[in-house]
A and B are shown apart, each in its own frame.
Chain A
Amino acid sequence: MTGADASTVPALPDATSGRAKDSRAPRRRYSLLTRGDKIVMALMVGIPSALCVFFIWFPAFLSFLLSFTNWQGVTALTAKNFIGLKNYQNLFTTYPFFWPAVEHNVIWLLTLVFIATPIGILLAVLLDREIRGTRLYQSAFFIPVVLSLALIGFIWQLMYAPDGFINSILGLQDNPIDFLGNPNINLFAVLVAASWRHAGYVMVLYLAGLKSVDPTLREAAALDGASASQTFFRVVFPVMRPINIVIVVVTVIEALRAFDIVYIINQGKNGLELLSVLITNASIGEASLLGFGSAIAVVLLVISLVPIVSFLVRTMREGAS
């Protein structure tokens, strides 16, 4: 509103100015812009886009190229380094950590989907009723969400320590369970901590969604004699479809991005292998198998693009219509 002040640029006498003067002429906003405006717009969009392409999508493409090489980063990359699909072949057949890592990522996803997310939804549904001190409860459940997963790994080491809370309350101080060291159980111990955070996240998203549900829908269902659970599953859950999709995407992405918590606990070894960790350990650690690490990166990239692209296409299509 205060925009029409001295600093405004008058329309340049170019092809667009004729229409620019007449506000009732075709509602093509772009044609109202002066040449200076177009340059400004090109800069506003062009510079960030170029940076995003160069620092995210170009490296992603390079990962793809490098995955066909045996490059170790010491000498220059030459044609001799290209070894075709050999990295992928090794990855799928001989490399001992690949399939366990895939399995761990899948278990991670299933745990978040079938345990953490329902807990979050349940909390949201319970807190959505008229409850005294609902903010207090919400804060308690949300606090883990504001902590980093690295810090959560740190905090839960105290819970799982030989003389930590869990072994102590189970009376096992003399013969403690090695929750984080035993490769048969450490993944599940870590998933308790990851779910602790994820449930709070889902709760907040879901609570916002529940607030936006038209209350007359529920009233109508109640009048028709529906029970609380019927109202939820038959009426509320279906109209929450947009939020449900967001939660599915967030959950899948979280499962694929999982890294910090296992890295801080034991660098993602000994039962805590994940794809993200294998990439990092293969290429940044002392091994420096850049080509091989890139092949794992490409696998993770392809898996990640499936939920990302399907979510975005859906969102954009709905936004357009």
Chain B
Amino acid sequence: MSATSVAAAVPVAVHRRRPRAPRVVLYVFLTVLALLWLLPVAWALYIALRPVGDTLTNGYFSPPQSLTLQNFFDAWEQGSMGQSFINTAIITGFAVPLTLFISSMLGYVFSRFSFRANLFLLMMFTAGNLLPPQVIIVPLYRIYLLLPLPGFLSEFGHWYDTYFGVIFINVVFQTGFCTFVLSNYMKTISRELTEAAIVDGASLWTTYRKVILPLSRPALAALAVLEFTFIYNDFFWALVLMNHADKRPITSALNQLSGGFFTNYNLFAAAAFIVAVPTIALYLLLSKQFVRGLTLGSTKG
């Protein structure tokens, strides 16, 4: 009884306290702010679309004489961006599934079996994920020079300067976040389901594979999108643990393209826009997954 009367009373109260004018102010405020927010990306796009000759004579802050896509092709060519994107594809292609595979197993055990060690291990993984990577880089760099790797994975026989090494450290670092999120998510899956399976004689592996994994699909999908973005955006590991510029993924390659690499801002802007497109497109297509991935870790944690 009271529930319906409250629900009915509220809109009236809200209307009375909030006349139309502030509502308009709110929309104007938000619209101006949103446009301001998009400005840096829009500015990069605008510069990238303008021919060099036009901006040389009229400056960047001027109405366009004509627009062109030529800068994108030139930046792509001069910055060897194709190779960098292939490197990114190799690294994310291995690192994302591996991270999800490992952390789903960890999440399964941590959410289903309560040993004392579990809590400690979960803390160890999560804390590792939160550390600034620079605090371990000096020893890690030396370890990478010492660890052997067979020839088909490494020209020089060690982990340094290899895709393997960069994939590996990304997986180790990202496992913490994913395990944290997945073990929280898996705790919401009924314990009876897995227990029933085990009592019926299903092995631990079968329970994980056939019960837990299918039911965790929403969390896994959200994390896949998020982890792709995280690893795509990683700058530091490949910068420090790789020596050859032609092996670096696109985000780390930005370091070479910065400074005086391009002869004009038009190419610089075109390169920036090309690098921004994949993650922005992914977000616009799968914004739900993004938000779910980020908030699974916070609202339930």
Q: Which of A165, A212, A249 touches B43 (beta carbons < 8 Å)? A: A165
Taking a contact as CB atoms under 8 Å apart, the answer to whether A290 and B138 are in contact is yes
Once A55-B169, A131-B26 are accepted as A-B contacts, the answer to whether A297 and B135 lie under 8 Å apart by CB is: yes
Report how many residues on chain B are interfacial, defined by Cβ distance under 8 Å. 116
Determine how close the nearest CB of chain A comes to the CB of B79; give it in whole angstroms.
12
Determine how close the nearest CB of chain B comes to the CB of A45; give it in whole angstroms.
5
Determine how close the nearest CB of chain A comes to the CB of B12; give it in whole angstroms.
10
Q: Which of B106, B119, B203, B258 touches A37 (beta carbons < 8 Å)? A: B203
Interchain CA distance A33-B121 in the complex, whole Å: 21
Once A137-B30, A142-B283 are accepted as A-B contacts, the answer to whether A222 and B172 lie under 8 Å apart by CB is: no
State whether the Cβ of A117 lies closer than 8 Å to any Cβ in chain B.
no
Determine how close the nearest CB of chain A comes to the CB of B298; give it in whole angstroms.
4
Chain B residue with the shortest CB-CB distance to A152: B40
Taking a contact as CB atoms under 8 Å apart, the answer to whether B203 and A161 are in contact is no
Interchain CA distance A259-B132 in the complex, whole Å: 9
Q: Which of B13, B135, B235, B265 touches A300 (beta carbons < 8 Å)? A: B135
Q: Which residues of A contact B (CB under 8 A)?
A: 1-5, 7-11, 20, 23, 29-30, 32-34, 36-37, 40-41, 44-45, 48-49, 51-53, 55-60, 62-63, 66, 73, 123, 126-127, 129, 131, 135-144, 146-151, 153-159, 161, 163-165, 168-169, 173, 193, 196, 200-201, 204-205, 208-209, 212, 216, 219, 222-223, 227-228, 242-243, 246-247, 249-250, 253, 256-257, 259-260, 263-265, 275-277, 279-280, 283-284, 290, 293-294, 297-298, 300-301, 304-305, 308-309, 312-313, 315-316, 320
16 pairs, CB–CB < 8 Å, chain A vs chain B: A3-B197, A3-B211, A5-B206, A8-B202, A30-B113, A32-B199, A45-B106, A48-B103, A55-B140, A137-B34, A140-B38, A155-B272, A159-B40, A242-B298, A246-B298, A259-B134
| Top 7 A-B pairs, shortest CB-CB distance | A168-B61, A148-B233, A62-B139, A208-B295, A3-B202, A37-B204, A59-B136
In addition to A73-B142, A158-B44, A279-B135, 4 A-B residue pairs with Cβ atoms within 8 Å of each other are A148-B233, A155-B41, A158-B272, A246-B301
